[in-house]
Structure 1
Amino acid sequence: MTARASLTTSPTLAQIARRAGVSVPTVSRVANGRRPVAASTRERVERVMEELGYVRRRPRKQQADALLVDVVLPELTGLWVGEFLRGAQGAARTSGAQIVLSELSNENCFAPLAARSSVGVVLGMAQPDQTQLDWLTGEGIPCVGVATAGPTSGRVPTVVPADRPGARQAVEHLLALGHRRIAVLTGSRAHPYVSEQLAGVEEALHAAGTTARSEYLRDGTPDFSSAVCSMNELLDLATPPTAVFAGSVALAGGAVVAAATRGFAVPEDLSIVGCGGLSAPKLPPHLTSVRLPIGDMAAVAVGMLLAGEPGPAPFMREMPARLVMRNSTAAPPRGVASRRRGRRDAGTADVTEPRPSSY
């Protein structure tokens, strides 16, 4: 049996709803016994379920001693995963629930959800494809996304970080220090959070009476190696930047390493602000960062599921970000001459490369 087939063996709630002439939420209520349904409607839906061979999920009232919340993540090793799981587990523990963790590896990862009869699923920065999302919706499984995009946009209630205000705070801080030559390292503009970050940068610069310089913008793959290459390009400019806003921990780490191997001291020669709130391992100095409330977002998403049906999509709750001051920023150096240029071989830096992460 293929992974795709495993998602479609049992009829979906949408198929049952069409045959019975009712809505998907009505079928979901009959299947899970959550709310009262008119006797005649219940009988009609149950008859269709039997005709189509639907495998009923256990009613939640039978699992009061084992309340489950599924959490699906795109990876289990990213720098942000630990904070996310602490937030999710804390919220679950408060309600006497347990977390079931899965990795979004293929279509088959969602198949056990129907038999497990969990309260619902938190999509933690995971981007299910259209087939997976259709299956979840058709089965009537409640979902809440955390910083998700792609097919989930507009279809799943979502908890997101305040990326735009966070980026604006970072650039306002650099401007207040006296920087005007501010570079930006981000991921691909195809991701909504990148567009929000860039909008925040533009707002801060506009309010200061200036605009972004195209030669100071580097967008693309949000990983450590790309950041090293991009930072070297920026340092090779005739008028290099005096400050950098990096849209993720991995990008900030790459910027620090590239600067160090070229002989630029942080923050004396170059100020760097990261985003994510997590310190990349073995990368001095401690980064001034926009702290994204990863754990808080996870806790809110779990809480929404445990409180009942989340609000209808497109529902979006934005969680505040805040600038955490550390020691990677300072006033700009006096003149380009004070900024040392060193060797280009960034690969010789004696540091541990942090794992790529969107946050």
Structure 2
Amino acid sequence: MTTPLDPRRANDPRDFLDLDALLDEEEVAIQQTVRKFVQQQVLPDVGDWFDRGIFPRELATEMGSLGLLGMHLEGYGCAGTSGTSYGLACLELEAGDSGIRSFVSVQGSLAMFPIRAFGSEEQKEQWLPAMASGEAIGCFGLTEPDSGSDPASMRTVAKRDGTDWVLNGTKMWITNGGIADVAVVWARTDDGVRGFVVPTDTPGFTANTIHQKMSLRASVTSELVLEDVRLPAGAVLPGVEGMRGPLSCLNEARYGILFGAMGAARACYEAALDYATSREQFGRPIGGFQLIQRKLVEMLVSVNRGTLLALHLGRLKDQGRLTPAQVSMGKLDNVRQAMDVAREARNVLGANGVTLEYPVIRHMNNLEAVYTYEGTNEIHTLTLGQAITGIPAFR
């Protein structure tokens, strides 16, 4: 017999749908551990990091010690958690800052994942344990100056020279590039697109930091230049050929984003809620006015709806049923919902909303980049269009 709900029970404005009740003990433990880390190690200083445009290198080993790097991968020092647990970690990290979550996504889903999925045993043993601990940092070289949404048109090439490979080309907008110890670089070969594991101290490899960003400032973004970078035969990822390799990596990263965006949205909503219930105008808190309450309600609905979608997709992933198009749906809608929440929250905070004393403008700026990277809104729209009609509209 179901116990009747006490009508006097107050709804929790920070978990209105009681979504935490959908999590198992391990998921709750991971969520709380990451939330505590963000509260203690990220939030006190992230505004300054954003202002100065830096990512503290020591965060890598701190996150590695918590098992967050490559956490959804098996073996080689990786935690081997569920996909849902990984998603929840991304949500909590991005509640701190998109740049922090982006570091973890790139390290685990874009650099470690292809080595784990497609690498040789030697490559796995050489790189994965050090990357899982944060002692080695990885990056992912796919996007080029003239090849963003159409990565198959890349110009970076790898030519055989005896038993060696020689790489030439340029990659752009590469997260972690300037601090990476290893890069997973995708290049055209005579046999199609192949992935290469490139130590960044290889002669001819240069990473140039991109400055004057107004988004993801607490994250290192770089241009990679490869000029006659000579690699041994064992540098190629043996387990994959063609665009399936890099696209599968992007799908892993997008999965983390659809969770992470809800972390940014939640942080903005909670900042607006706290502000609206403490800021007084006309003799009472502004949260008592109808227009402000409507804004808060719209934010509440978006955060809860998007988080519920993320959890559902997480369960599908853990069941082996999640499709790339479903990931596209989550990335497309959760990011744009998060952008709407951030803008409404900025409005609630008034002039205070544009200062780094509050987290909102930082999240708002970050989400502009999140909206574009790992597949633009337009590309995900066309992906979904093809999924429901069977007709591709990319060309």
- Does TM-score exceed 0.5, indicating one fold? no
- TM-score, length of structure 1 as denominator length: 0.24
- TM-score, length of structure 2 as denominator length: 0.22
